[in-house]
Structure 1
Amino acid sequence: MNLKKNVLLKLIINLCFLVISLVALFPLISLLLASFRPSTQLMRNGISLTFDLSELNLNNYSYIFSQAGQYWTWYGNSLTITVTTIILSLFFSSLVGYALAVYDFKGKNLFFTCVLFILMIPFEILMLPLFQLMIDTALVDTYMAVILPSVVAPIAVFFFRQYALGLPKELMDAARMDGSTEYGIFFKIMLPLMTPSLAAMAILQGLGAWNNFLWPLIVLRSNTLFTLPLGLSTLLTPYGNNYDVLIAGSVMTIVPIIILFIFFQRYFVAGLTVGGVKG
C-alpha cells in the first residue's frame, strides 16, 4: 500500500513539474514559432502557438545569415563583452572574495560591510557617477566602458566569500609547510576547489552581461559597437518595424546562453547551494 502511495505521489509531482515546465517554455516556444512566420502573419495574428504549416519558412533566418551584416557585428560585440566580463569578473571577484574569507587584516570587516552596502544600492543611482567616471577616463564608446563596472561585482565578491568560508584551511597550512606561496595556494589548491562557485557565477555574470541593455545604451555611441540588445532595439522605429527579423534575431541570441548553461549546469546547483549556506 505504501509502495502504491509513493508511486502515485511521484507521478503527481512529475505531472506538476511537467505543467510548470510547459508554462515556463510557452514564451520560448511561441517565439520560436513566430521566427518562422512572415511579417504579415505576425502583424495579423501576433505571437501565439497556433500556426499554419504552409506559411512557415526560413526566410527570416536566411535574411539574417545573408543580408543582415550589422546583426553579426552586434553579435560579435556581445560575445566579446560577455566573455571578457566573465573572465575578468571571475578572476578579480574570486581573489577579493577569497581574501575576505581566509585572511585577517585591518579593515576587513569594514570592507565587507561596504560590499554589502553597495549590494543594496540600485544600479540606477550609480549610473551618473559611473558615466562621469567614463567621461573623465575617456572610455565612452568603448568596450571597456561596458566591461569595467562589472569586473569586481559586489554580488560576485559576496558569493565567492561565502563559498571560500567553507574551504578546508588545513590544506593552506600544509601547502605553506611545503613552501608554497599564497598565490600558489590560491591558484593550485583553492581555486580548483571553488570550481562549482566559478561555474555558477559564470552563468549569472554571463546572463547579466549578455542581456545588459541600460548601461551599454548610456556609454555606447557608435552603431558598430552596439551589443545585441541595443542593435535589435534599432529595428523598431517610427518609420517601420521589422518584427520578423527582430524575432528571428532574438531566437539566435538564446543560443550562447544555452551553450553556457550546458557547459556549467552540473556545477550550477552545487555552487549556488554551498555558496549560499556557508558562513
Structure 2
Amino acid sequence: MDNTISKIKPNKKNKVGGRTRSVLTVLSTGFFALLSCLVAMPLVIGFTASMRPGSEMMAQGLHLNLNFKEWMLDNYLYLLSGNEDSCKFFNWFKNSFVLTLISVIGTLVLCYFIAYGLSMYNFKLKNVLFFIVIATMMVPFEILMLPLYQEIIKFGLIDTTLGVVLPGLCGASTIFFFKQYMSSLPKELLDAGRIDGATEYGICLRIMLPITKPAFAAMAILTSMGAWNNLLWPMLIYKDAQKFTLPIGLNTLLTPYGNNYDVLIAGSMFSLIPVFIVFILFQKYFVEGMTAGAVKG
C-alpha cells in the first residue's frame, strides 16, 4: 500500500525542473523576440524613409513615421521610371543578377571539386595545401586588392565581367565549408561506387554531389549575398557606366552637386528582395547544411 501511494505522489524535483525549464523557455523566447525587433528596426526605418520626400528626411532625419497619409511612392516611381535622365535601375539590376549568377555557379562548382579532392583522397602535401587555403582567409582583401588589380590589367580583363568574377572563384571559406561537410560523410560510399563499377568522376558527380545539396544551398546563399552586395572590387574593374552593378549605380546617386538619399534608400530597400527570395527558397537546406556534422552518431 505504501509503495502504491509513493508512486502516486508527484515528484517535487520533476515539478521544479519543469517550472525552471518553462521559465527559461519564456526568457529565451522573449530575448530572441527582442533581438529580432532590434535587427528588423533598421529595415523598418529604412522602408519608412523611402516613403517620404528627401527634403523631409534631411530636415527631420530617420525616424519611425507611421503616418500613412504622408507616405508616397514618388521615390519608387522615379527609381523604376527607366528614363535616360534618371537612374538606370533596371540596367543595374540586370548587371548585378548576371554577375551574381556567374559568381555563384563558378564558385560552387570549382570549390566543390577542390574540397572533394582534399577530403576524399590522400596525397602528398595535402595538409600543406589545405593550410595555404586556410591561411588566405586571414589576409584582408584590402591587402590583396592592389596585386589582384595589377594582374587583371596584365591579363587585359579590365572592364569585363570575368575580371570581376575571377579573383573570387576559389573562395577559401567556401572550400573550407565543403571540405568540413564532406569529411563527415562515410568514405565507404567511394568503395561502394568503385565496386559497382563507377568511375571516379561518376562517384564525384552521381554519388557524392546529391548528398552535398545542403552544403550547396548554404554556400549558394552566402556566395550570392557577397556577390550581390559587392561594391569595392566591381567599382575598380568596371569603367563603362552601362556595366555598373546595383551597388555601384546606387552609389552614383551621391554626388558633390546633390545627394538623392530618398531614392538611394528606396533602391536599397528594393535590392533586398532577391536576397529574401534566395533565402526563402534555400532556407531548409541552409539550416541543414550549417548544422551538418554538429552531431556524430
TM-score bracket, shorter-length normalisation: over 0.9
| Aligned pair partner of 1:185 in 192, 203, 212 | 203
1:26 and 2:26 matched: no
SS in 1 for 2:291: helix
Structure 1 position 106, deviation (Å) = 2.4
1:77-105 deviations in whole A, cap 9, x for unaligned? Answer: 11111111111111010110011001112
Q: What percentage of residue pairs aligned between the two structures are identical?
A: 46
1:168 and 2:186 matched: yes
Structure 1 position 72, deviation (Å) = 1.1
1:60 aligned residue: 75
1:175/1:185 contact within 8 Å kept: yes
1:208-246 deviations in whole A, cap 9, x for unaligned? Answer: 111111111111111111111111111001101111111
Q: Which structure: larger Rg?
A: 2
Structure 1 position 275, deviation (Å) = 5.7
| Aligned pair partner of 1:121 in 139, 150, 174 | 139
SS in 2 for 1:121: coil
Structure 1 position 5, deviation (Å) = 4.0
Aligned residues: 278
Structure 1 position 277, deviation (Å) = 8.1
SS in 2 for 1:48: coil
1:163-210 deviations in whole A, cap 9, x for unaligned? Answer: 111111111111111111111111111011111111111111111111
1:86 aligned residue: 104
> How many Å separate the matches in 1 of 2:220 and 2:185?
20
> How many Å separate the matches in 1 of 2:87 and 2:144?
35
Provide closer, same or farther for how the CA distance between residues 80 and 277 of structure 1 changes in structure 2, counting only shifts above 3 A.
farther
> How many Å separate the matches in 2 of 1:205 and 1:162?
17
2:231 aligned residue: 213
1:116-162 deviations in whole A, cap 9, x for unaligned? Answer: 12111111111111111111111101111111111111111111111
> How many Å separate the matches in 2 of 1:6 and 1:70?
55
Provide closer, same or farther for how the CA distance between residues 113 and 6 of structure 1 changes in structure 2, counting only shifts above 3 A.
closer
Q: TM-score, normalised by structure 2?
A: 0.89
> How many Å separate the matches in 2 of 1:242 and 1:277?
50
> How many Å separate the matches in 2 of 1:66 and 1:33?
21
Superposed, 1:95-244 pairs within 5 Å as 95-244=113-262
- Computed over aligned residues only, the root mean square deviation of the Cα atoms, in angstroms, reads 1.6
**Which one-letter code corresponds to 2:146 in the other structure?**
L
1:49 and 2:67 matched: no
2:272 aligned residue: 254
1:6 aligned residue: 21
> How many Å separate the matches in 1 of 2:282 and 2:114?
22
Structure 1 position 249, deviation (Å) = 0.5
Provide closer, same or farther for how the CA distance between residues 110 and 138 of structure 1 changes in structure 2, counting only shifts above 3 A.
same
> How many Å separate the matches in 2 of 1:140 and 1:277?
46
Provide closer, same or farther for how the CA distance between residues 42 and 69 of structure 1 changes in structure 2, counting only shifts above 3 A.
closer
> How many Å separate the matches in 2 of 1:142 and 1:19?
45
> How many Å separate the matches in 2 of 1:131 and 1:113?
25
